[in-house]
Structure 1
């Protein structure tokens, strides 16, 4: 199966795609980045916009000077760009945060109630959409199918069992481990049928496919949505939290200080209205500018075209991986399920950290290895028992489990995937040699192994 490369036009839009990096043998090659699910490189348009705007940079909402007014107006316009991008309702507030993790923690605090109220999340979540709920609600987990997909039957069963106590269903739009896209609007329909609301972690979803929150009077409406700029070609640290204004009206904000209040005395606090109430401190003007520039660029490119191109990449990669002896894939595209452009795998006889090291040292290929901050999901995919997990937690001499993940962006190409597949095929044919040569890597895979902590946790 050979694809021509329609992505070359996309590639030219991304900064750093032709940067040369060193290999272990001292030679330099053009780096291949297959770790886009963690962080994407910036769009060239974003870098240009930041550079051109820098002379106009000033404080937001904190001055009468001309530059301050320009920044404040652009910052507020950014909310409308975000709102239109995901078709959020006019009555929703768009809150700028640091990233998706901060957004979810902020929402958890805003919704915090008596422990008898229930949040249903899933066995496939990133830790950011699991841990923030645990100390504020009764948390229960929607089960997975044997293939690692979300079970709608389990969701409905739990909604019925809790008899109206479920406050929120918190679910990822797309898994950062398997790439599966969840049927969000079906989940929303079920959730609303039982009187609960739905929150979607859109970190791996929003950058890859057109997202529509739908109107509040629709049973398929998304009540709350969060996503991050750094996963959609916009660095400088900005995330988004979108939800009904009423949620934040009476909630005490997580962060408190200047910019979030009206008049304060030592006896009382007059809070500002959301979203300002939720954005204490000096706003990240450059981060918001980067985000809205990325949104405008991706919108012009058309998210459906981006999704189609990335599907060609992941289909090609999966087809190639299936031909390599010893490879186990933890999700495959069979033509029936929706997915984003990532897949995780293991290679028999080599530890995940060794594979990542070899790919980097021999070909300049960056992948992610480990648990991807989705520990329970990977543990279930690997079928680890509770006893095994406890052993890993209490024994530093044990090589920690995990997978290898490749994830593509709009600038990746078929030729890059072919370099990856050729090298991985060679590694698979010489597994014992590579296991011995890269045995030193395993020392880095233990907490305290040599004072270094590899990236296997997340």
Structure 2
């Protein structure tokens, strides 16, 4: 992998908002440092441009006779092809347009077939998973076995092999890259041991696809899901791509128009995938946006994104480890080539306070909490949460250095402002920062939003939707 110099460690692709100024508590403004790409990545400029071009062409799809309806249908179906091709879909694979990874995995959970004995197919997962790749399987017809990950990749693979040999499983559902540590298991090894045991493999690609080239055809993975909002296309779309047979026969995800061949007052004949799982008017703009992101990422020279992220991650990890009291979280001691997601803690300091400080005094956005990966954080000893910094195509070395400098100051001098817990979240007290002009927010709306976040999660940063 190429080694980048600091001069070369600029953004790979231009993103919307890279020059957005945010207010600090001292009354100044600074360019926002978005180190929370693992939660929601900013839109690529190329995506915003494609959406702007497409909006005047938007109309109903699939059943409209009008010219713009035909154009919109063509745009939607062309986008489907691009979205599938981006993850190396095989000729007979299906690409279903969904809302996000969570949507995709819930859809797939309804398509796992019964085994030869007629019993519902059972799913095997690890405790390292994001809740999106855990909860759908637990409430699926066959249920799920949750296997505790071991301290090393080698030991975890051995545990998977043992469990797959112990009982029949229809599916092994696994993260493509951890949303907590950026680490992952080698795909080739996972596919080999699962297929040998007669199980299919579904990858949660939410943190893999935006960071690494991936191919279903080359790896033998059976299904992959990913989200537009993590792939620089935050327009409400995602995808499930994989083998047709389960998707053609599985329970239709939504009951409604477009998913059927014939409806009578007391019966229905469902159509095949992908339409079988796309009832209702589809998100044409979201599909176009995701396809534009796929085009832009695919056009990068091979290795460019990987080298960019590796350089920034290495600097981030080495810088964090040099700060007294900062601990970097790892799931597997022998993991190699992790993606640009790094979680850490500051000993004896609440993660929420550290995150609020970074935002209010340095204009840095990070994530704190348990990242919708409660079992993993608990097993690793961070049941109270931690802090996550994540990089992407638009991240610069300056932003990483700003984070490291801010943390060093926090450890040596403490915060410069006063903070308190309000509605279970740390905040500046009082907070002098104004709301963005033209945002449409008011004190009433902002307060209501904060109350919703606190009530639904205990604290907003605990949420990390995929």
Using structure 2 for the length normalisation, give the TM-score.
Answer: 0.87
Match of residue 440 from structure 1: 421
Residue among 154, 157, 164 paired with 1:159: 164
Structure 1 residue 414 corresponds to structure 2 residue 410 = no
Matches within 5 A, 1:71-220: 71-111=72-112, 113=114, 117-136=121-140, 137-146=142-151, 151-162=156-167, 165-214=168-217, 220=219
* Alignment CA distance shift 1:449-1:73 (3 Å): closer
1:42-94, CA deviations, whole angstroms, 9 ceiling, x for partnerless residues? Answer: 01111111111111111110201111111111211122212221111111110
Cα distance in 2 for partners of 1:405, 1:448 equals 20
* Alignment CA distance shift 1:28-1:104 (3 Å): same
Give the deviation of 1:268 after TM superposition: 2.0
Cα distance in 2 for partners of 1:4, 1:327 equals 24
Cα distance in 2 for partners of 1:183, 1:130 equals 20
* Alignment CA distance shift 1:149-1:258 (3 Å): farther
Cα distance in 2 for partners of 1:108, 1:452 equals 28
1:137-178, CA deviations, whole angstroms, 9 ceiling, x for partnerless residues? Answer: 23212332225887001000101111xx21100000000001
* Alignment CA distance shift 1:154-1:326 (3 Å): same
Give the conservation status (yes or no) of the 8 Å contact 2:253–2:276: no
1:282-336, CA deviations, whole angstroms, 9 ceiling, x for partnerless residues? Answer: 0110000001111001111135210111110000011111110001111399896
**Which blocks of at least 5 consecutive residues in structure 2 are unaligned?**
427-452
* Alignment CA distance shift 1:147-1:442 (3 Å): farther
Give the conservation status (yes or no) of the 8 Å contact 1:148–1:381: no
Structure 1 residue 325 corresponds to structure 2 residue 324 = yes
Give the conservation status (yes or no) of the 8 Å contact 1:350–1:435: no
Match of residue 33 from structure 1: 34
Return structure 1 stretches of 4+ with deviation > 4 angstroms: 112-116, 147-150, 332-336, 447-452
Give the conservation status (yes or no) of the 8 Å contact 1:209–1:303: no
* Larger displacement relative to structure 2 (447-456 or 38-47): 447-456
Match of residue 391 from structure 1: none
Using structure 1 for the length normalisation, give the TM-score.
Answer: 0.89
Cα distance in 1 for partners of 2:416, 2:119 equals 49
Aligned residue-pair number? 433
Matches within 5 A, 1:249-264: 249-264=248-263
**Aligned-residue RMSD, C-alpha:** 2.6
Residue among 409, 413, 418 paired with 1:430: 413
**What's the secondary structure of 2:110's corresponding residue?**
helix
Cα distance in 2 for partners of 1:9, 1:143 equals 37
* Larger displacement relative to structure 2 (266-275 or 119-128): 266-275
